[in-house]
Structure 1
Amino acid sequence: MSDTQTTPSQTVGPFFAIGLPWEDGHLIVDEDVPEAFDVIGKVLDGAGEPVPDALIEVWQADPDGRFDHPADPRGAVAREGFRGFGRCPTDEGGRFRVRTVKPGPLPAEDGVQAPHLNVSVFCRGMLVRLVTRIYFADEPGNAEDPVLLSIPDPARRRTLIADPAPFGYRFDIHLQGDDETVFFDL
């Protein structure tokens, strides 16, 4: 009989914590941008328990609806203090915070997309990232957004809506369970 032990064939861990986060990664805009606000929330598992080792990645348009990316056909973003991208690890309570500004509406093939943040979630036990969006509850364009309207159940659409709060907006990400956030298959 051998003294060696079987090891898991798929080890998934919080290895992204080694190189992906950076000190001011939660700042999608500089702290002192006048219209900046925070989006604060938690990543929760299927039992409603916090996920302390997740990483939230956010990519967004600027207030004019343009991305800071060379492939944006409307031209490069020239807004002082705007990165358009950020990464934030969750803390021991599953909490995350990003500092941002409200993006502008985006043109789409089938209408106009309401202002939103594109979000990827990485965490233990997942071999691929989860992709979702954060919309803002006080945006009238939500009622016409083609992506939100593609979700047939209004209760499920609600899982993509951030609520206003004194600091900006509150948004929790539920990985499973009754309140599971809508994730997109990209």
Structure 2
Amino acid sequence: MSTEATVSAEASGTPPEPDVARPTSTELLADNEQLPPRQPAGQTPSQTVGPFFGYALPYTGGPQLVPAVRPDAIRLHGTVFDGAGAPIPDALLELWQPDASGALVRRAGSRRRERGDFTGFGRAAVDVEGNYEFVTILPGPIGGSAAHWALLTVFARGLLHHLFTRAYFVERDGAVPSDALLQRLPADRRDTLLAREHQHGRYRFDIHLQGDSETVFLDYPGVGASDGR
């Protein structure tokens, strides 16, 4: 209320009206607008934000499942490429495998390598050129299969979900292992799952996220979807 209106009201003996906030035109419009019924809350969709893998996920000793001086230690290494064939400098890989007898290890301690326990799990961040390396042992065959293989999980930029693949270990001059999964694949696709020994105890396994040499990726129902290739 203005000063003049207050003085006029006092002079006439009428008590002044209190200041009342008037609704704005926007508020009046909102009051008259019919809002749609509220929908039940759902899960937030996956988004490609980051990646931020290098801040917390890598840990000391992550790629070394066993000491490098162990007599039966091997190295699994390679490069992660994008669809254009360029190395990805900020991918992260996890390795899951049985022990040398083929038994699945269910033991904690992957972050306490100094204990010397083999847990069958490793985690490696690639370097700026997209290269990674694990120091581990040759996994034993699982479930009656003659193949030696390990599971790899791939996290990288542009992926809504992490990807699963397998690395089948093939010794120098060795034949392609007999395995139900490999037998279902054409020869050119089968080769993308083979980690070949190129030096004694050193197996190379490159990962191509897309393109003509795209690695075969696997879906595991109930675990989370890859992009289905």
Calculate the TM-score normalised by the size of structure 2: 0.67
The letter of the residue matching 2:129 is G
Task: Report 1:35-74 matches (<5 A).
Answer: 35-69=72-106
After superposition, the Cα gap between the structure-2 partners of 1:26 and 1:16, relative to the gap in structure 1 and judged at 3 Å, is same
Does 2:121 match 1:94? no
User: Counterparts of 1:65 and 1:17 in 2: how far apart (Å)?
Assistant: 31
Shift of 1:81: 4.2
Aligned twin of 1:127? 160
* CA distance, structure 2, for counterparts of residue 155 and residue 90 of structure 1: 26
Distance across 2 between alignment mates of 1:150 and 1:13? 36
Q: In 2, Cα distance between the equivalents of 1:148 and 1:93?
A: 30
Q: 1:176 to 1:43 in 2, by over 3 A?
A: same
- CA change 1:20–1:175 in 2 (3 A) is same
Whether the aligned pair in 1 keeps the contact of 2:48 and 2:160 (CA below 8 Å) is no
Indicate which of 171, 175, 186 corresponds to 2:205: 171
Q: SS of 1:41's equivalent?
A: strand
Structure 2 residue matching 1:112: 3-state secondary structure: coil
Matched with 1:6 is: none
Q: Which amino acid is the alignment partner of residue 65 of structure 2?
A: I
Say whether the 8 Å CA contact 1:30–1:81 is kept in structure 2: no
For residues 150 and 12 of structure 1, what CA distance do their matches in structure 2 show?
35
Instruction: Find 1:116's aligned residue among 149, 172, 190.
Output: 149
Segments of structure 2 that go 5 or more residues without pairing to the other structure are 1-45, 108-115, 221-229
Aligned counterpart, 2:71: 34
> Matched residues, percent identical?
46
User: Which has more helix, going by share of residues?
Assistant: 2
Report if aligned partners of 1:130, 1:183 keep a CA contact under 8 Å in 2: yes
| More moved, 21-30 vs 114-123 | 21-30
TM-superposed deviation, 1:23: 1.6
Partners of 1:113 and 1:12 in 2: how far apart?
41
Is this contact kept in 1: 2:48–2:159, CA < 8 A? no
CA distance in 1 between counterparts of 2:175 and 2:83 reads: 31
User: How big is the shift at 1:117?
Assistant: 1.0
1:25 aligned residue: 62
Partner of 1:16: 53
Amino acid at match of 2:71: P
Matched residues, number: 164
Out of 154, 170, 179, which is 1:145 matched to? 179
Radius of gyration: which is bigger? 2
1:8-41 alpha-carbon deviations (Å, 9 max, x no partner): x934212222221112100122222211011110
**Superposition pairs of residues 69-80 of structure 1, within 5 angstroms:** 69=106
* SS of alignment partner, residue 99 of structure 1: strand
CA shift, 1:165, in A, is 2.1
- When normalised by structure 1's length, the TM-score is 0.82
Counterparts of 1:140 and 1:181, CA distance in 2: 20
**Other-structure match for 2:225:** none
The list of structure 1 runs, each at least 4 consecutive aligned residues, that deviate by more than 3 angstroms after superposition, is none
* More RCO (CA 8 Å, sep 6+): 1
Q: CA deviation at 1:141?
A: 7.1
Pairwise CA RMSD? 1.8
